[in-house]
Each structure stands twice: as structure tokens, then as C-alpha cells.
């Protein structure tokens, strides 16, 4: 913040160092009054200025700025003599109108240029059925998308600004009376305590306000789907929207939420539950399969029945490396492919995928560097890691198998169990906005299991999750929803 003694004059001088800052002098054609208009050119919407502001400036008869302010057909116009405020507004795209070059008071008129892309379909969290709009980089539009879905007077938006340079607008959204006030309090406090200069995206905020900033696990859920945000707001969670970021943050979140895709709610509950279990299984598979491969082949080949062992040995007999080297070689190749694919433009990325996946894979088997079986396992594990509906969790899953591999190399299956215990302890100690991350598994909230590992039908979801401690735990009358009917009625 600038010193309070700074005058409007010196403030304008500073801004004037930049060549896109303009101060122009006009003359009112009825009164002959001279008018100084200052603005930053790229921030101004010329159409608004020409249509709504300049006709009044040049033709309307006024003697004071007050008169002019009343005459302008724009809401966002006011008199100010605070240099800091003026500077801020000029930077955001306001016009500063003064009657004298040395005046300390000026009229600020909003003529902000708003350029934003149109609403597109969600690309990260795509779903076949269900709404197809996703957040964009404008906070106002994103709030509009939420308000449209929750037309309730209880939907409350708290505005903050973070970043000493970026002064990014940030909205904390919750439904008053449903969200736990303590959670809102926690979020607000943490946001106010953020110390950073340039906040670009909501993922900056995640890293700045998370409970444990060193954890591999994301502790706030990020989503690009307004429908998902609206749904969890109704459950009693708190959402954070950041201007310039097409991803909203949701908290307090839990581990199981990261494995639930929002599409689960668009499908029949049995199918949705099946998909969730598949996802959990694939996550476990993805993390554990190569460590188990290393453990078994290093130490416990007795575990494998005779026939299967034959297959394994045939596929491995030409391989000059111990299992761990073989596995690390393939795992790193897959990571390399993934990273290359992510960095390259889509079309080239596909080519790389084909070249890498098929050519390197088959070639390395034929060259006798890796075994067929392992190639299948690693490819499956990579595939399984992409089933996590939240991108950031997928990254965590991919990284997690490396410590497991090291422990498996050291102590076999025992090492895998040991590493599992470490991860479990870490997860137990994690919190999201001060709420346990493993809820409803631990602390056990049996009633919340209706929407955790499986999802029960909507008629059984009459209560909000008890781990959220919402002041209004009943969503709707569950008894009315469940109609009991007799045969042939």
C-alpha cells in the first residue's frame, strides 16, 4: 500500500510512466468547460466509453462533477479523492474525469473491458450424461453459474482479495444455515492470512491454505463443474472461487470424495456403486501391483502356484536385470511417456503415445530388457491410475508406488505392508479445514457410508453427512420419499 500522503497528482505521474496510460483534455461543447479524462487504454471498453460516457461529457450541460455523475446512465460512477482508490480503479478499467488538471477529486466511471471465453464443456471431469458446462476464468460468470443452480437467499458470497501484486478477487461461497459456520470461519481466516504476491489460480490457494502443505494428498477438492459445486454446497460444504481460475475449490473434503466422480450421481445407484468400487480397486491395483511383483519375484516365489510360476519364469528367463531394475525401467518409461504426452500439443502427443507405448513396449520385450508379464502389469497399473476422477489425486497415486517399490525391494511383502501402514498413518493425521480427511471411514460415521465407498439411492440420502456438522442435518423428508406400496395397488 502506498503512503497515505501520496497525492493524486504524483499517483498519476507514476502511472504516466507507462505509455498505455492516457490523459486527454476535452472541451464540453455547451458550457465550454475543459475536462481531463485519464485511463489505461487496454483496460477500457471503447464501446462503453463512446456510447455511454462521451456524449454526456461533451454535450450535457453541467457545472460540477456531481451533476455529471447523476446524468451518466451507468451505475458504477462515483466521486473520489482517495489516490489509492483511484489508482486501483484506474488499473481495473475505470475512467478518471476531472475538471482541472490539478484537482484532487475526480469522477470514476467504470468502462471495464471484459473479455472471456465462452462456456465450454468440462474437459478434465467429462461426463457422458449430465450438464455440460464448466467454469471459466471469470469470477462473475462462475458465480452466475452457481446462483443459477441455487436460487436461494441463503447462498452467501464473501469476497476477499489476495496477493499483494495480483489483488486477485476470491469468493468464499456457502449456504447460510447449512454450512457449518466454523468451516466458513476457518476458510476466511486462512485466506486472510495468505501472504503471496501473484495469485494466478485456485491451485495456488490450495497450496497456500491446506492443512498440511507438504502432503502428497490434495486436501481441497478442485472441480471445474458448477453442478458438482452446487451439489456439495447443498451438503454443507464451502466453495472457494478464484478470479481467473476455471477450477473451484471445495472443502472440507475427504479421501473418498476424491474417488467419486460426479457422474456417479447421474447413474442408477447400483451402477454408480459398482463404478466406485471398480475405481477403488483400480487405485489399489495401480499402487500395489508392481511392488507385489518385485516382492514376490525377489523373495516369495513360493506364493505362486506351479503353473503360473512357469509362465512367469519363461517370460523372465532372458532378462538380465533383477525385478526392481526391470520395474523401475518400465515405470519410468511410462512416466516419461505421460509427461511427454502432457507437454506436447494434442496431435503430436498422440503420435508420441503410439510410438512410445507400442514401439518401446514391444521392442523392450523383444530385446530382452523386460518381461511380457511385467509389461502387462505396468500398462494396467498406468491405466488404472487414470481412473481416478480427480486429476491431482491421479498424480499422487502415480508417485506413491515408488516408495512402495523401495520397501518391497527391501522386505518383500512385509515391506509393502509396512509402507501401507506409513501411508495409513499419514492419511489418519491429515485434516481438511480441520476436519478428519478419512471421514467417514475414520472416525467411523456409519450413517455417512451411504455415500462413500458406494452410493445408495437418493431416497436414502435424506440426511446430510454428519461429519460436516451442518446445523441443518435433514435434507428432505426421507419417509415421504420412500413410499411403501403393497402388491397390486
Partner 1 sequence: MASVAERSQVSAFMAFFIIMSMQIGIGVLGFQRIISKTAGHDAWISVLLAGAAGHLVLALMYWLLQQADGDFILLHQQLFGRWLGNVLSLAMAAYFASMSLVVLRTYIEVIQVWMFPDLRTWEFSLAFLLLCLYITLGGFRIVVGICFFCLIIPSYLLFTFWFVFDYTDFYRLLPILDHPLSNIVKAAKEMTLTMLGYETVLFFYPFLKSGKQSAKWAHAALLTTTLFYTLLTVLTLAYFSEKQLQRQIWATLTMWKMVEMPFIERFEYIGIANWLFVILPNVCLGLWCSSRICKKVLPVRQKTALFLVAIGCFLGTLAIHDRTGVNMINSILNRIGFYFLYVWLPCLAAFTYIRMKVRGKL
Using CB atoms within 10 Å of the CB of residue 103, give its burial: 0 to 12 exposed, 13 to 18 middle, 19+ buried.
middle
| 433 backbone φψ class: left, alpha, beta (φ>0; ψ -120 to 50) | left
Q: How far apart, in Å, are the Cα atoms of 352 and each of 326, 349, 368, 391, 395? A: 22, 5, 22, 21, 20
Closest listed residue to residue 465, CA positions, set 449, 441, 480 = 449
- Which residue, 30 or 425, is less far from partner 1 as judged by CB? 425
State which of residues 124, 194, 303, 462 lies at the interface with partner 1 (CB under 8 A).
303
List binders of partner 1 among 385-414 (CB under 8 A). 411-414
Options 277-285, 322-330, 438-446, 453-461: segment touching partner 1 (CB under 8 A): 438-446
Q: Is 302 in the site for partner 1 (CB under 8 A)?
A: yes
**Residue of 60, 126, 160, 299 interacting with partner 1 (CB under 8 A):** 299
For partner 1, give the closer residue by CB, 151 or 305. Answer: 305
16 vs 444, beta carbon nearer partner 1: 444
Q: How far is the CB of 197 from partner 1 (least distance, A)?
A: 34
The answer to whether the beta carbons of residues 43 and 21 sit under 8 Å apart is no
Q: 300, 343, 447, 479: which one contacts partner 1 (CB under 8 A)?
A: 300
Q: Which stretch binds partner 1 (CB under 8 A): 59-67, 190-198, 383-391, 425-433?
A: 425-433
**Is residue 320 part of the contact set for partner 1 (CB under 8 A)?**
no
When the beta carbons of 322 and 478 are compared against partner 1, the nearer one is 322
Kindly write out the interface string for residues 253-292 of this chain, putting x where it contacts partner 1 by CB under 8 A and - elsewhere: ----------------------------------------
Residue 366 lies near partner 1 (rule: CB under 8 A): no
Q: Which of 207, 197, 259 is nearest to 391 (CA)?
A: 259
Q: Which is nearer to partner 1, 159 or 308 (CB)?
A: 308
Planar angle of CA 386, 390, 392, nearest 5 degrees: 90
Q: Which positions ≥6 away from 100 have C-beta within 8 Å?
A: 36
Shortest distance in whole angstroms from residue 273 CB to partner 1: 19
Taking CB under 8 A as the rule, does residue 447 contact partner 1? no
CA 120, CA 111: separation in Å to the nearest integer? 27
Residue of the chain from 86, 173, 184, 438 that contacts partner 1 (CB under 8 A): 438
Q: Could you tell me the smallest distance in angstroms from the CB atom of residue 436 to partner 1?
A: 8
Residue 216 near partner 1 by CB under 8 A: no
Burial of residue 79, with CB atoms counted within 10 A of its CB: 0-12 exposed, 13-18 middle, 19 or more buried: middle
Q: Does 417 bind partner 1 (CB under 8 A)?
A: yes
Place of cell 473418498: 256
**Min CB(293)–partner 1 separation in Å:** 13
Sign of CA dihedral 263, 267, 272, 274: negative
379 lies in the binding site for partner 1 (CB under 8 A): no
Applying CB under 8 A, does 416 fall inside the site for partner 1? yes
Does residue number 348 form part of the binding site for partner 1 (CB under 8 A)? no
Which of 169, 124, 125 is CA-nearest to residue 262? Answer: 125
Interface residue with partner 1, options 9, 144, 281, 442 (CB under 8 A): 442
Question: How many whole angstroms separate alpha carbon 431 and alpha carbon 16?
Answer: 49
Beta-strand pair 221-223/248-251: antiparallel
Residue 214 as a binder of partner 1 (CB under 8 A): the answer is no
Grid cell locating 142: 462462475
Choose between 270 and 421: whose C-beta lies nearer to partner 1. 421
Phi/psi-derived region of residue 130, left when phi > 0, alpha when psi is between -120 and 50, beta in every other case = left
Stretch that binds partner 1, among 140-148, 248-256, 304-312, 317-325 (CB under 8 A): 304-312
Residues 6+ apart with CB under 8 A from 384: 282, 283, 285, 286
| Residue 304 sits in the site that holds partner 1 (CB under 8 A) | yes
Contact residues for partner 1 (CB under 8 A)? 299-300, 302-305, 308, 411-414, 416-418, 421-422, 424-425, 428-429, 438, 441-444
Amino acid at each position: 500500500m502506498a503512503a497515505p500522503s501520496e497525492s493524486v497528482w504524483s499517483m498519476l505521474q507514476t502511472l504516466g510512466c507507462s505509455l498505455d496510460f492516457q490523459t486527454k483534455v476535452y472541451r464540453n461543447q455547451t458550457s465550454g468547460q475543459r475536462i481531463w479524462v485519464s485511463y489505461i487504454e487496454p483496460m477500457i471498453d471503447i464501446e462503453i466509453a463512446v456510447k455511454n460516457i462521451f456524449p454526456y461529457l461533451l454535450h450535457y450541460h453541467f457545472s460540477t462533477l456531481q451533476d455529471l455523475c447523476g446524468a451518466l446512465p451507468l451505475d458504477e460512477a462515483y466521486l473520489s479523492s482517495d489516490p489509492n482508490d483511484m489508482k486501483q480503479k484506474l488499473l481495473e478499467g475505470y475512467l478518471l474525469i476531472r475538471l482541472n488538471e490539478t484537482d484532487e477529486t475526480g469522477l470514476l466511471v467504470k468502462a471495464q473491458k471484459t473479455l472471456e471465453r465462452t462456456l465450454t464443456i468440462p474437459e478434465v471431469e467429462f461426463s457422458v450424461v449430465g450438464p455440460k458446462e464448466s467454469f471459466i476464468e471469470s469470477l462473475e460468470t462462475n458465480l452466475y453459474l452457481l446462483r443459477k443452480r441455487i436460487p436461494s437467499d441463503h447462498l452467501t458470497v464473501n469476497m476477499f482479495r489476495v496477493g499483494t501484486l495480483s489483488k486477485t478477487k476470491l469468493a468464499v461461497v456457502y449456504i447460510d444455515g447449512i454450512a457449518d459456520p466454523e468451516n466458513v470461519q476457518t476458510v476466511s481466516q486462512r485466506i486472510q492470512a495468505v501472504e503471496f504476491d501473484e495469485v494466478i489460480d485456485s491451485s495456488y490457494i490450495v497450496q497456500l491454505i491446506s492443512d498440511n502443505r507438504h502432503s502428497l494428498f490434495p486436501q481441497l477438492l478442485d472441480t471445474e463443474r458448477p453442478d458438482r459445486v452446487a451439489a456439495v454446497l447443498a451438503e454443507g460444504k464451502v466453495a472457494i472461487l478464484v478470479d481467473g481460475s476455471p477450477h473451484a475449490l471445495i472443502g472440507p473434503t475427504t479421501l473418498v470424495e476424491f474417488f467419486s466422480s460426479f457422474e456417479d450421481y447421474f447413474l442408477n445407484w447400483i451402477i454408480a456403486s459398482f463404478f466406485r468400487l471398480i475405481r477403488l480397486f483400480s487405485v489399489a491395483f495401480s499402487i500395489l501391483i508392481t511392488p507385489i511383483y518385485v516382492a514376490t519375484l525377489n523373495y516369495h516365489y513360493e506364493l505362486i502356484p506351479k503353473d503360473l510360476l512357469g509362465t512367469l519364469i519363461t517370460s523372465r528367463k532372458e532378462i538380465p536385470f533383477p525385478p526392481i531394475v526391470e520395474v523401475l525401467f518400465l515405470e519410468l518409461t511410462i512416466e516419461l511417456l505421460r509427461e511427454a504426452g502432457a507437454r506436447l500439443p494434442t496431435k503430436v502427443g498422440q503420435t508420441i503415445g503410439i510410438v512410445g507405448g507400442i514401439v518401446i513396449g514391444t521392442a523392450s520385450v523383444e530385446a530382452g530388457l523386460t518381461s511380457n508379464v511385467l509389461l502387462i502389469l505396468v500398462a494396467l497399473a498406468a491405466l488404472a491410475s487414470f481412473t481416478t476422477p480427480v486429476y491431482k489425486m491421479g498424480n499422487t497415486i502415480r508417485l506413491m508406488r515408488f516408495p512402495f517399490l523401495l520397501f518391497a525391494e527391501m522386505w518383500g511383502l512385509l515391506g509393502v505392508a509396512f509402507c501401507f501402514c506409513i501411508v495409513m498413518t499419514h492419511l489418519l493425521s491429515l485434516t481438511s479445514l480441520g476436519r478428519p480427511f478419512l471421514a467417514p471411514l475414520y472416525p467411523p460415521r456409519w450413517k455417512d457410508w451411504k455415500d462413500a465407498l458406494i452410493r445408495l439411492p437418493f431416497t436414502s440420502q435424506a440426511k446430510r453427512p454428519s461429519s460436516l456438522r451442518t446445523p441443518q442435518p435433514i435434507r428432505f423428508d426421507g419417509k415421504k420419499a420412500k413410499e411403501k406400496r403393497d402388491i397390486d395397488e
